A and B are shown apart, each in its own frame.
Chain A
Amino acid sequence: MMRRWLGWIAIGWMLVLSIATVAIYGTATSPPTLESRTRALAAQFRCPICHGESVADSESGIARSIRSLIHRRLAQGESSEQIKRYLVSRYGTVIVLAPPMSGIGSLAWIAPPLLLLAGLGLLATLFAAWRRQDALPRGRRAEYVERVRVELTPEVGRDGPDGREVPV
């Protein structure tokens, strides 16, 4: 009984600590700097000359220039959305790392949850089928339990491992 209470007290303490941490550090963070905003925005764009690398991560010359452009435009007061529109108007949607929410690109957003649901559905169906296969027909359970009981009971005159009769 005491052990059960200790568990609940521990969970309670963890909740209090988590809430206190969020309250203290979550609200006290300083506003994002120009550098952090530049990096966050650059991370949304594909380096035009690299394979699978963002503008934020690439060290190629063109990625560095795009980072400088983002930095300069943010400093001039342009919004992230304006800068994104500018780069898309020059490079096309291919510059954006996240696939578009419309057209063929929307498949990349829709397909994973749909496939996950389909997989879960398939698993549920298979489990249900296995349970049906393993289930005993009604009225045979008593017979089955009795058989298990008999088989688990040591038999009189049964041979032991060394071939001699096992005493009951």
Chain B
Amino acid sequence: MKRVIWVAIIAAPLLGLLAFGLRQNPDAVASPLLGKPAPAFAARTLDGQRISLSHLRGTPVVLNFWASWCAACRTEHPYLLRAWRQYGGQVRFLGVLFEDSAASAEDTMRQLGGGWSTMRDPDQSIAIGYGVAGPPETFFIDRHGVVRRKVVGPLTAAGLRLGIRTILEDR
């Protein structure tokens, strides 16, 4: 009887720890940027324009890190396209190229459609500034320049709508 009690005392915390670990989603890492001012950036787009976050103050921004070689980016593209057509007047859509060449990215945009700009990030300073591990990752920045949502992985229609509604709300 005494032995059973000892085994239970040792096993209970270990089982508790195991249960806690199994219930965690290893991919669901909350960004430390949520609720904080979006990291500043200034970069050139594929067509040579200069864009900086400070010039976009007052406009909600959907910042999407993507690459032409990324299959999940192609999956989410139709949702982005639809949202851009619907909300493009109220929200600024911006892509950030992740480990890709400008030529491939331009080709892909021509194939898939979409009139939003994509910024080059050759030293990945924007990606590191936003804590991006790999594409696709999307940040929803409100008109005050605060990061309100982050989506890791391909966007869904519902996820995109929720993000846009969040940044369109005025707090």
Contacts and interface: CB of A to CB of B under 8 A. Distances in A.
Contacts of B17: 107
Contact of A65 (B20, B30, B127): B127
A62 B130 contact: no
Interface in A28-81: 48-49, 61-62, 65-66, 68-69
B129 A48 contact: no
B124 A90 contact: no
Contacts, number: 47
A90 B32 CA distance: 6
A94 B131 CA distance: 11
A51 to B, nearest CB: 10
Contacts of A88: 32
Given A48-B134, A49-B134, A65 B32 contact: no
A89 interface: yes
Contact of B33 (A49, A90, A94, A95): A90
Contacts of A107: 17
Interface in B43-77: none
Contacts of B131: 48, 90-92, 95
Contacts of B132: 48, 62
Given A92-B29, A92-B32, A61 B129 contact: no
Q: Which 3 pairs show the lowest CB-CB distances between chains A and B?
A: A48-B133, A65-B124, A90-B131
B134 A65 contact: no
Interface of A: 48-49, 61-62, 65-66, 68-69, 87-92, 94-95, 104, 107
B123 A90 contact: no
Given A49-B133, A65-B124, A65-B127, A90 B99 contact: no
A61 B132 CA distance: 12
Given A48-B134, A49-B134, A61-B99, A89 B32 contact: yes
B117 interface: no
Say which size band chain B's interface belongs to: 20 to 34
A65 B123 contact: yes
Contacts of A62: 99, 124, 127-128, 132-134
A90 B130 contact: yes
B33 A61 contact: no
Nearest to A92: B32
B39 interface: yes
A104 to B, nearest CB: 8
A119 to B, nearest CB: 11
Given A69-B128, A107-B17, 14 more contacts: A48-B132, A49-B133, A61-B99, A61-B124, A69-B125, A88-B32, A90-B39, A90-B130, A90-B131, A91-B131, A91-B133, A92-B29, A94-B29, A95-B131
A79 to B, nearest CB: 18
Contacts of A87: 128
Nearest to A68: B123
A42 to B, nearest CB: 13
Contacts of A66: 128
